């Protein structure tokens, strides 16, 4: 199979799994260049994953004839500038979440990609995993009937206990809303259709955090963003979701390790579907038909399982190779951003906020016998 050349900008903590998957797991991609402001870190990643080139700048990467897709793994504050430079250089772009930190910047990137005739996609790509792909098919096939509402929860302790450099996760673009929110918003809109109105409350529970991970053990972080969010999301389909996200919680009876300890429950006129965490690619699905005495455990029906981070990049590469649209679209990325900004505005103003963007979710990717093992062809 022909492989599409990928350049990775940002060689921090998350780059490990991206580089591993894009280089060795997905047959559609080959990482041909890496770049980081810390050149020694980029050099280390290049040696670790057998990448031929270490670029000194984004500008040099986007002029490389070998790079077709730029994967932007920088911190949220840098997402827009790096993505813009890559698009202006004629490269397709996959950017870590969020797409941007404002609607204006997000619209600029979407418009630029369309003007250039380039693909633009944004994490998370976990909705391509077995858990959410199967859940979408069940909803479409009517297992729960007409969706009425549901609950979604992410209740966990903070990243200072495990992340090697967690400070940015408590700054602008971090916190549960901007770090974890994209997973839930993307998944819920994929399952129920676009969001049309939100209400949100939020607060900072602890003003400072002490790092207990090894690299920066003992450092004190000043918390600049809320760490506890409660929101109501109204969907154009008529469904309503209650969403709670916090990094202040050390234990909860709602946690189920088979669902990665945070999940979504959808309630419909015919039954209830419990969907595993949208932060992961798989996990146990539970279903109970109305009137039935017990829950059923349902298998995943999609080949994308385990830590498949970067599968959205592989899908983009497959789209290039097969002349088809990618499953992650700019409109999808912008809708997630629009909802995030609306939630941010709601908790700050104490008012409900209408969401004006929309998009059409892709069809479920239920494939058996696929030679790639990823359901991408």
Q: Residue 74 in 3-state DSSP?
A: coil
| CA distances, 59 to each of 9, 93, 121, 220, 274 (Å) | 11, 14, 20, 35, 46
Classify strands 195-203 and 353-354 as parallel, antiparallel or unpaired: antiparallel
Burial (CB count <10 Å: 0-12, 13-18, 19+), residue 250: exposed
CA distance 355 to 321: 35
CA distance 254 to 58: 44
What's the pLDDT at 371?
Answer: 43
Query: How many CB atoms neighbour CB 72 within 10 A?
Result: 24
Is the CATH code 3.30.360.10 the one for domain 130-298?
A: yes
Beta-sheet strand order (sheet of 53-54) = 53-54, 29-35, 4-9, 69-72, 92-95, 120-122
What's the pLDDT at 283?
Answer: 96
CA distance 46 to 176: 31
Q: Smallest Cα–Cα separation from 4: which of 323, 368, 375?
A: 323
217 CB-near residues (< 8 Å, 6+ apart): 211
Q: Which two tokens stand for residue 142?
A: 């009517």
What's the pLDDT at 58?
Answer: 96
CA distance 86 to 193: 30
What's the pLDDT at 367?
Answer: 53
What's the pLDDT at 303?
Answer: 83
| CA distances, 175 to each of 73, 228, 238, 270 (Å) | 17, 9, 29, 36
Residues 85, 324: contact at Cβ < 8 Å?
Answer: no
Where exactly are the structural domains of the chain? Answer: 4-122+310-327, 130-298
| CA distances, 218 to each of 171, 248, 316 (Å) | 18, 19, 41
The CATH code for residues 4-122+310-327 is 3.40.50.720
Q: Smallest Cα–Cα separation from 15: which of 39, 50, 55, 42?
A: 42
Q: Which two tokens stand for residue 373?
A: 């093992």
Peptide bond into 283 cis (omega under 30): no
CA distance 195 to 236: 6
CA distance 47 to 41: 10
Query: How many CB atoms neighbour CB 281 within 10 A?
Result: 27
The DSSP annotation for 36-48 comes to -SSHHHHHHHHHH
What's the pLDDT at 359?
Answer: 93
- The reported pTM is 0.94
Q: Residue 35 in 3-state DSSP?
A: strand
| pLDDT tens for each residue of the chain, 377 residues long | 789 999 999 999 999 999 999 999 999 999 999 999 999 999 999 999 999 999 999 999 999 999 999 999 999 999 999 999 999 999 999 999 999 999 999 999 999 999 999 999 999 999 999 999 999 999 999 999 999 999 999 999 999 998 988 898 899 888 999 999 999 999 999 999 999 999 999 999 999 999 999 889 999 999 999 999 999 999 999 999 999 999 999 999 888 999 999 999 999 999 999 999 999 999 999 999 999 999 999 999 888 999 999 999 999 999 999 999 999 999 999 999 999 999 999 999 999 999 999 999 888 876 544 544 455 54
Residues 195, 238: contact at Cβ < 8 Å?
Answer: no
What's the pLDDT at 346?
Answer: 98
What's the pLDDT at 363?
Answer: 84
Q: Which two tokens stand for residue 280?
A: 């992961």
């Amino acid at each position: 199979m022909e492989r599409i050349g990928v350049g990775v900008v940002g060689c921090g903590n998350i780059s490990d799994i991206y580089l591993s998957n894009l280089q060795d797991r997905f047959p559609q991609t080959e990482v041909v260049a890496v770049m980081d402001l810390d050149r020694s870190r980029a050099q280390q990643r290049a040696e670790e994953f057998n990448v031929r080139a270490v670029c000194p700048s984004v500008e040099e990467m986007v002029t490389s004839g070998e790079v077709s897709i730029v994967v932007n793994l920088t911190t949220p504050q840098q997402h827009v500038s790096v993505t813009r430079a890559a698009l202006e250089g004629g490269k397709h772009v996959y950017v870590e979440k969020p797409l941007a930190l404002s609607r204006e910047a997000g619209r600029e990137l979407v418009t630029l990609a369309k003007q250039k005739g380039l693909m633009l996609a944004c994490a998370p790509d976990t909705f391509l995993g077995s858990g959410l792909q199967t859940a979408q098919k069940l909803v479409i096939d009517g297992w729960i009937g007409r969706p009425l509402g549901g609950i979604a929860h992410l209740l966990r302790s903070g990243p200072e206990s495990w992340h090697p450099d967690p400070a940015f996760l408590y700054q602008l673009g971090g916190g549960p809303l901007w770090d974890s929110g994209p997973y839930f918003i993307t998944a819920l809109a994929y399952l129920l259709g676009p969001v049309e109105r939100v209400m949100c409350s939020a607060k900072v529970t602890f003003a400072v955090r002490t790092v207990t991970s090894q690299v920066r053990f003992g450092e004190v972080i000043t918390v600049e963003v809320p760490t506890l969010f409660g929101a109501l999301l109204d969907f154009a389909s008529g469904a309503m979701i209650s969403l709670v996200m916090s990094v202040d919680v050390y234990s909860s009876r709602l946690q189920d390790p088979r669902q990665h300890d945070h999940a979504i429950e959808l309630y419909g006129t015919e039954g209830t579907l419990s969907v595993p965490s949208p932060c992961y690619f798989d996990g146990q699905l539970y279903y109970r038909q109305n009137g039935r005495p017990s829950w059923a455990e349902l298998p995943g029906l999609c080949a994308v399982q385990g830590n498949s981070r970067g599968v959205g990049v592989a899908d983009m590469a497959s789209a290039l190779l097969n002349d088809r649209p990618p499953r992650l679209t700019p409109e999808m990325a912008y809708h997630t951003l629009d909802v995030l900004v609306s939630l941010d505005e709601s908790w700050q103003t104490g008012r409900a906020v209408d969401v004006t963007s929309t998009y059409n979710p892709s069809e479920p990717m239920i494939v058996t016998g696929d030679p790639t093992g990823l359901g991408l062809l």
